[in-house]
Chain A
Amino acid sequence: MKKLFYIIPVLALLSFVSCSDEDDIDTTKPAISIISPADEDGFEPGDEISFSCMFSDDTELASYKIEIHSNFDGHDHEHTAVMKQAFEEEGHEWSYSKTYTFETGQTVVNVEDLKIQIPATITHEGVEEEVAEGDYHFGVHVADVAGNETSVFVAIEIGHHHL
């Protein structure tokens, strides 16, 4: 009780004083500028995806994550569960996820030609399967040291018909 009676006036003061502290917090999100891959780029199973990108932040970059997964539910609204089974018969969905940490103190980082290997086949339960063809999302998430996060997605296609 006694503690409370001095906490409240002190905090009341603090709340007004602290207005000036706003400059110290960081709510500016980092920026992502993906050079490659580009939207609608096509790849074949076994290809390498070349990732080139510029990351920037006003304070300090922390880390980024690359995530690739299928977007097979994008086509149809009604029969996705059925379609999903159909896809599975034709091959195995590929997914990729990896995180990278920036060196400390960086505000601008250029990633040039980072190679990501698309496997030609995927071994699933002892069976070698083709990589399922179709639309994939290539996602990039970046965070700064304060936890501000930016995400960008590129739609790519993996299949043989792009020859």
Chain B
Amino acid sequence: MPLKKLALTLLLWFVIVLSQAQYFTLSGVVLDEQNKPLPGCHVHCKERCHITNFNGEFAHNKVSSGEVKLTFSFIGYQQLDTIVNMDENVMLKIKLQPENKLLNEVYIKSNAINTHKTQKNEVVNATYIEQNLSGTLLKTMERLSGVNSMDIGANASKPIIRGMGFQRVVVSENGVKQEGQQWGADHGLEIDAFSIETAEVVKGASAIELGSDAIGGYINISNNSVPEKNAVSGDVTLLTKSVNATYGGSFFIKGRSEKKFFKLRVSALDFGDYKVPTDQIVYLTREMPVYNGKLKNTAGNEQDFSIQVGHLGVRFKSTLQLSSVNQKSGFFPGAHGVPDIKRIQDDGDSRNIGFPYQKAHHLKVLNQNKWFVNNGNISVDLGFQNNVREEWSEFHTHYPDQPVPEINPNQEFDFNLKTYSANAKLTKKINDYHKLSSGFQVQHKDNDVGGYNFLLPKYQSTSLGVFVRDEINLTDHLNFNVGIRFDHSSVKTNEYFDPILYDYFISEGEDAEGANNYALRSVDLSKHYGDVSWLLGLVYTPSENFIARMNLGKAFRTPTAVELASNGIHHGSFRHEMGDENLKSEKGYYIDGNLEWISRGFSLEFSPYMYYFSNYLFLKPSGDWSLLPHAGQIYRYSQSEAILSGVELSITKNWFNQLGSTFIFEYIYNQQVSSDKTQRYPLPFTPPVNGFIEFDYSRFKQGKVVKDSRVYINSRIALAQNRVSQNEEITDGYVLLGIGVSTKINFLNQECTVNIQGSNLLNTKYYNHVSFYRKVEIPEPGRNIQLLLKVPF
């Protein structure tokens, strides 16, 4: 055999040497892992870039003889580099493998994993989200080990990864960081869930390319795939849910000529008060009835719009995207501040939104450009985001003498955040061993405030990050990742003097100096922070079935204006939240591992991790009483040494080639580190030990009318969370049951998707330890049956 090979090689070489400088045609077809053609795939050949047609085909004429280097890339697939010797017309058949493990597959082929990244990423696609959509997008993603959803009622949620949330998790859309009021517990993600094509989740610190905030991890939502050439298509999606009588839908149309494409989406949702499996809520010893099993004033609506236009050049791709998300939803009034039965009387209407409620608008303009150069690419993203979040509550004065505002008298808070960002990145394969990426990110934020209440001041902040990362391909089995990033940020807050509060303290008998001190809610502040993050990672793949990853690094996060300068009562609680201008950057060292065993019909993944923070930043009760009316204790943004560790386990198994199964487990342990034993509290908002089990069957006969059917039954389990921080409630464990069916039905020659899903089927009364309503003793939503129908055209 070796002799034969050698002879062949020699012969080939001989032919090459002999061949003249001629022109040949290089053509081929690109297929996906199921041997289906991949339209829209980028094929880089020398200085040019082709895009495969509807049948996955490409052709490159006039190729001179000799070696030609080809690169095939397609979103969600592993890039493939190959060298072809051109001595005649060549016809290639290229098969791309998915870059990531798609979760709805029971098993995957061992070579389908990106072995170059030292951090494991998991990607879910639109089909997966549609099939499993449970409540909110993040609720759907809870079935990934290590991801938890912090819910605000039935229709809003935000992510927690490895026990870290708020500013410690970056959510981005097409790679550009989403900026809202992510520090607050009562606001969800302002992203149209219908618009998501893929969502990528990375657990663990991902600061190098995403900025220092991504200490816990990140979620990148993409919706910028290129439509098929010379075609116009689209779909209509309809969604209805029983738990809060949701009616919603989305209309989508996309089209492309040779080089230009567009996408347009309009979505709307309207929902009523959600059902809770209880007839009474007991908050602060007050018993509050729940009329008709529905939580009063939790109705809401959402209207979203987005448009994308793009240009595809030979070596250049550019898109311009404009999106607008508008949400309005009510808060349960009975526990908004002092519990009050009078505010929760049934008004016979479960779809109206009375006080208190919140409104959020998110406007985004993104311009993304990518140039394909020799062995690499350059991308430049420009973005503008305007996030307006308003809280409306009946004008209840906190001080007897506060005059009623003339304009919008019931607007309690109005946060208006403008974010300008510019990112640039160069990725280049230097040689067979090094792939270098380098770039910078600039961001400027301008936050304005309004409303009759005061929580945080006006602020402006500017940040700059510069990074270099090298992927070192040492051997076929061993890869290293080395990265370093420097961030600098500056925060300016504006002085705010509260004359009404001054008068209040004077009337209470305080002297002028004391009253002045209290009434100065914020001061002019100018702070600068800078620090370095670094990462050392390795991937070891000794065999086709086994993969081991390990990362060691340092991450940091600069204090935000909220943490430096807030000073007020966040409604719905009696906490007087107070910033501290002397806070230092939060610094953490981390080590994490990921072991993966994959064989046909079975996969196992084990991920332990550990962080050490020299000064973890969180809101801590101070023991001092606030002098503000309606307030209890002062909670100060404080820093403490802390450790945070945990393990995640994920197993998939296919039984007898028939039944698929998934098991997920997560355990988090964290603690403040102190020489004083009485101060070793756990960190707040830590999810309990939790797990998820699912069995599914999809081996149905493929019919002409009905195909790709799948049925599943699952259970989400959480143990009690007994390790709580001060003033957190111990939360009992729970077991929830869910079932679902998804199928495709051929109707008028269109393949319609139908998904029916039931969650919390036993209508279990349970509390989510990390949810917004946990502290006011409101259980999570009850049984939900939902139907999603998607009709393409």
Contact = CB atoms under 8 A, between A and B. Distances in A.
Nearest to B402: A84
Given A81-B410, A124-B401, A141-B633, A153 B724 contact: no
A72 to B, nearest CB: 7
B726 A146 contact: yes
Given A73-B396, A92-B400, A15 B643 contact: yes
Contact of B574 (A14, A19, A24, A141): A141
Interface stretch (B197-205, B438-446, B481-489, B674-682): B674-682
B629 A145 contact: no
Contact of A8 (B347, B399, B591, B679): B591
Interface stretch (B83-91, B106-114, B617-625, B753-761): B617-625
Interface in A68-91: 69-75, 77-78, 80-81, 84-85
B643 A95 contact: no
Contact of A4 (B354, B589, B645): B589
B597 interface: no
Contacts of B610: 8, 11-12, 15
A29 B632 CA distance: 14
Interface stretch (A41-49, A50-58, A59-67, A104-112): A59-67
B680 A145 contact: no
Contact of A69 (B627, B630, B643, B730): B630
A155 B723 CA distance: 34
Contacts of B4: none
Which secondary structure dominates where chain B touches chain A?
A: loop
Given A69-B630, A80-B355, A153 B339 contact: yes
Given A21-B677, A75-B342, A7 B394 contact: no
Contacts of B69: none
Nearest to A141: B632
Contact of A24 (B404, B627, B680): B680
A70 to B, nearest CB: 8
A133 interface: no
B338 interface: yes
A4 B613 CA distance: 11
Nearest to B612: A11
B643 A11 contact: yes
Interface string B569-596: 0000010000000000000010100000
A80 B678 contact: no
A15 B645 contact: yes
B435 interface: no
B419 interface: no
Interface in A110-163: 124, 137, 139, 141, 143, 145-149, 151-153, 155
B726 A147 contact: yes
B339 A80 contact: no
Nearest to A69: B629
A56 B728 CA distance: 19
Interface string B177-205: 00000000000000000000000000000
A145 to B, nearest CB: 7
Contact of A73 (B395, B591, B680, B724): B395
Given A25-B679, A29-B727, A97-B629, 10 more contacts: A15-B610, A24-B677, A27-B681, A27-B730, A73-B394, A73-B396, A81-B410, A124-B507, A139-B338, A152-B285
Interface of B: 284-286, 338-340, 342-343, 347, 354-355, 394-397, 399-401, 404, 409-410, 507-508, 554, 574, 589, 591, 610, 612, 620-623, 625, 627, 629-630, 632-633, 643, 645, 669, 671, 673, 677-681, 723-728, 730
18 contacts: A11-B612, A15-B643, A24-B678, A26-B678, A27-B725, A67-B630, A69-B629, A75-B342, A81-B404, A97-B629, A141-B625, A147-B622, A149-B621, A151-B632, A152-B284, A152-B285, A153-B284, A153-B338
